[in-house]
Structure 1
Amino acid sequence: MSRPVLISPSILSADFARLGEEVRAIDEAGCDWVHVDVMDGHYVPNITIGPMVVKALRPHTQKLMDVHLMITPVDPMLDAFAEAGSDLITVHQEAGPHLHRTLQRIRALGKKAGVSLNPSTHEDTLDYVLEDIDLVLVMSVNPGFGGQSFIDSQLRKIEAIRAKIERLGKPIHLEVDGGVDAATAPRVIAAGADVLVAGTATFRGGPAAYADNIRGLRGA
């Protein structure tokens, strides 16, 4: 079945000295969403940004703010990221003791809810929450840093999750993050993904290249 492919550039690969300008640039270049990677130096081995930066970036785009929380414990931070302007909040399956309760809280805050699976996390962990989410994010690299190589084994996971979504019959997005570029995007889309997170592949070449980079990914 043919599905529209959405492009959600990860600002992790943007110029952090001019983040507002970078967000406006990818918006004007035709991105569908803006992907914000939040890392705490605890759940993943890196520290990036917090809710204050999300709030500062919010006026720079009307596109969906796709906020990926790589933090634990995640529950105490949900309200702050919702108030900062997140539209979709994705948490990791392992980021708290009660995933269902976490997803309920995100929904209660008026936001779309997503669950992310690390490369070693089995897709069956979704079985009892799939009806409660708007998005599944498959990590095709180990989270923590941009610019990593795609892990081929995740294609089987994408296929398995797409089958679960089709059986359920709900409009749940299947997003893939990690090593997505012009070479891997066709394989990811063929496996069943409909949202591509691309940092390096979007931001390479500077602002003049962003539109062509996004078109190239979408054309895959």
Structure 2
Amino acid sequence: MQKPVRIAPSILSADFSKLGEEVRAIDAAGCDYVHIDVMDGHFVPNITIGPDVVKSLRPHTQKIFDVHLMVAPVDSYIQAFADAGSDIITVHAESGPHVHRTLQMIKATGKKAGLSFNPGTPLDCLDYLIDMLDLILVMSVNPGFGGQSFIPSQLKKIEEARRRIDVSGREIDLQVDGGVNMETAPQVITAGADLLVAGSATFKGGPDQYATNMKALRGES
């Protein structure tokens, strides 16, 4: 059963000169999760932040820290991001040789586990991993940079992920990240997503607009 639509603003689109202030602003504006993109310059062609930044942001909000690790190899960083205050840690199937073991490591820290699928990555491994997951992330752009255009072919993948979650009977967030804006949000919600990562669409217009932007993404008047 699909959950109510929730918004996880990606702080990749925030003003990095005042990240703490930005996190407080999206909290006050009604975000559901705080999405933190971690990129290593190897698995994806960009470098963002590490566990120390996550730790420094943790006192600024009680909202769920949804940490997306675009890092390879990833296993050696799991504990550090757990200790930094992550609530959900999401990895990619390609980010290590044994994704089942990686998910076990996340669960062993007491955190929720997510699995991310790039646009060209099929969902087949869910046959063997869905019972370990709290979140499935469908990437609707190739990871690495904010502000990219939505890839329409991923709507079919969102629909298939929704079907698999419903068949499993488990409480799993279906998250979509990449090119989510006022035009594409209704499409991904109709396809079955219930957790939208939105960077540019949330942060445009400055703090006074954040609440309005998130309401629009949810489809609220």
TM over 0.5: yes
2:196 alignment partner, SS class: strand
Which stretch shows the higher mean deviation, 22-31 or 125-134?
125-134
Task: Note closer, same or farther for the CA distance 1:16–1:74 as it changes in structure 2 (3 Å cut).
Answer: same
- Identity of paired residues, percent? 69
- Structure 1: how far apart are the matches of 2:119 and 2:126? 14
Q: How many residues align?
A: 220
- Structure 1: how far apart are the matches of 2:66 and 2:103? 15
Match of 1:198 in 2: 198
Which amino acid is the alignment partner of residue 124 of structure 1?
D
- Structure 2: how far apart are the matches of 1:63 and 1:213? 18
Match of 1:94 in 2: 94
Aligned-residue offset at 1:2: 5.4
| RMSD across aligned positions (CA) | 0.8
CA contact (8 A) 2:23 2:57 kept: yes
1:58 alignment partner, SS class: helix
1:128 alignment partner, SS class: helix
Match of 2:13 in 1: 13
CA contact (8 A) 2:37 2:67 kept: yes
- Structure 2: how far apart are the matches of 1:143 and 1:184? 18
Q: Aligned ranges for residues 130-149 of structure 1 at < 5 Å?
A: 130-149=130-149
Match of 1:4 in 2: 4
Aligned-residue offset at 1:125: 2.1
1:123 alignment partner, SS class: coil
Task: Note closer, same or farther for the CA distance 1:55–1:123 as it changes in structure 2 (3 Å cut).
Answer: same
Which amino acid is the alignment partner of residue 126 of structure 1?
L
1:138 alignment partner, SS class: strand
Question: Unmatched 5+ residue regions in structure 2?
Answer: none
- Structure 2: how far apart are the matches of 1:83 and 1:184? 35
Which amino acid is the alignment partner of residue 62 of structure 2?
Q
Match of 2:184 in 1: 184
Which stretch shows the higher mean deviation, 137-146 or 118-127?
118-127
Match of 1:78 in 2: 78
1:115 alignment partner, SS class: strand
Normalising by the residue count of structure 1, what TM-score does the alignment of the two structures yield?
Answer: 0.99
CA contact (8 A) 2:2 2:192 kept: no
Aligned-residue offset at 1:219: 1.6
Aligned-residue offset at 1:24: 0.2
Question: Unmatched 5+ residue regions in structure 1?
Answer: none
- Structure 2: how far apart are the matches of 1:127 and 1:87? 25
Aligned-residue offset at 1:124: 1.2
